[in-house]
Homo-oligomer: A and B are copies of this chain.
Amino acid sequence: MSETIGFIGLGNLGLPVATNLQDAGYGLRVYNRTASKAKPLVTKGAQQVTQPADAVTTGGIVVTLLWDGAALESVISDSGFLENLGPNGIHIAMGTVLPETAKKLVAMHEQHGSTYVEAPIFGRPEAAVTQKLWIPYTGSQQAKERIQPILKAMGGQGLFDFGEEVGAATIVKLVGNFLIVSAGYSMREALSMAEQNGVDPQAVVNMLTQTLFPAPIYQNYGKMIAEKAEPFGDSEIPLKDVDLLKKTAQQVESPTPLSNFLHDLLSNDLK
C-alpha cells in the first residue's frame, strides 16, 4: 500500500479527487467541515479526523482543496497544522487563492521546514471522475518530483510545470477561467441573436466547433446554450475567479476592462 495522505476539503471537486487517490491505493486521513461528506471514503477505509491539524503528519503530504484564501488560512492556522507538517512535509494547495496569499503561505511553511506547492485544478467534478483533469503546478523542484505521481493519481491527465515561483500556476488558472467565462458569455449573446433571427444555434455551434473553435469549452457550453441552459448555472466559481483575476491585475496596475465588465454581468446573473 502507498503512503497515507492528508486530505482537507471534500466539496464537489474534492470528493472525486480524494476518491481517485483512494482507488489508486493511497491511504487517506480526511477532514471536512461537514463531516458527513466523508462517508463514502470512510466506508472504503479512510480515517476521518475532527480537526484539520489531525490530517497532517510530520514529513507527510497534506492536500487542501478549499473554497478561498480565507478558508485556506483558517485551516493552516488550526493549532498544530504547520508544527505537525514540518520538517519535510509538503502541502499541496489546490484551491484558487490570490497569488499574494500564496506567497505569504510559502513563507509560513518555510519557517516550519515544510513546503507549500500550488496545484490548482482545471476540470469539473465529472472530469475528476473520468480522470481528465489538467493541473498546472508551481513549487520547489524536489517537492514537485515527490508529488507528481500523486497529482496523476488524483486524475490529472496532464501536469504542467510552471517553475518554482509560487503564484504562477494560480495565474494560469485565473487566465484559463477568465477565458472560459468570456467564451461562455460571448456564445450566449451571439447564439441568442442567431436563434432570434431564425437560425438554429446548434447548427452554428456545429460549424464553428468543426472549424475555428474545435475546443471542448465551445462544444460543451455551446450545446448547453443551444439547449437553453445557463452556461455557468448558479455557480459562484466564475465570479470568484474573475474577482481574483481583477485583484491580481490591480496589484501590477494591469488594466482589466473586460474582466470588470464580465464581473458585472456575472454579478447580475447571480442576483
Please determine whether A186 and B258 come into contact, CB atoms closer than 8 angstroms.
Answer: yes
Please determine whether A212 and B134 come into contact, CB atoms closer than 8 angstroms.
Answer: yes
Copies of this chain assembled into the complex: 2
Please determine whether B189 and A257 come into contact, CB atoms closer than 8 angstroms.
Answer: yes
> Is A183 an interface position by the 8 A CB rule?
yes
Contacting A168 at CB < 8 Å: which of B182, B199, B259, B261?
B199
Contacting A248 at CB < 8 Å: which of B178, B191, B197, B253?
B197
For residues 126 through 176 of chain A, which have their beta carbon under 8 Å from a beta carbon of chain B? 134, 136, 158, 160, 162, 165, 167-168, 171-172, 174-176
> Is A249 an interface position by the 8 A CB rule?
yes
Please determine whether A179 and B186 come into contact, CB atoms closer than 8 angstroms.
Answer: yes
Please determine whether B248 and A175 come into contact, CB atoms closer than 8 angstroms.
Answer: no
Comparing A84-92, A106-114, A202-210, the segment that makes contact with chain B is A202-210
Please determine whether A171 and B199 come into contact, CB atoms closer than 8 angstroms.
Answer: yes
**A183: B residues at CB distance < 8 A:** 179, 182-183, 186
- A-B pairs, top 3 by smallest CB distance, nearest first, are A182-B186, A196-B252, A175-B190
Tell me the A residues contacting B by CB distance below 8 Å. 99, 122, 134, 136, 158, 160, 162, 165, 167-168, 171-172, 174-176, 178-180, 182-183, 185-187, 189-194, 196-199, 203-204, 207-208, 210-218, 245, 248-249, 251-259, 261, 265
Can you list 29 pairs linking A and B with CB atoms under 8 Å apart? A99-B197, A134-B207, A160-B207, A167-B199, A168-B197, A171-B193, A171-B199, A172-B194, A172-B204, A174-B193, A175-B194, A175-B208, A176-B208, A176-B212, A179-B208, A179-B218, A182-B182, A183-B183, A183-B186, A189-B256, A189-B259, A192-B255, A193-B249, A193-B256, A196-B254, A197-B248, A197-B252, A197-B254, A213-B215
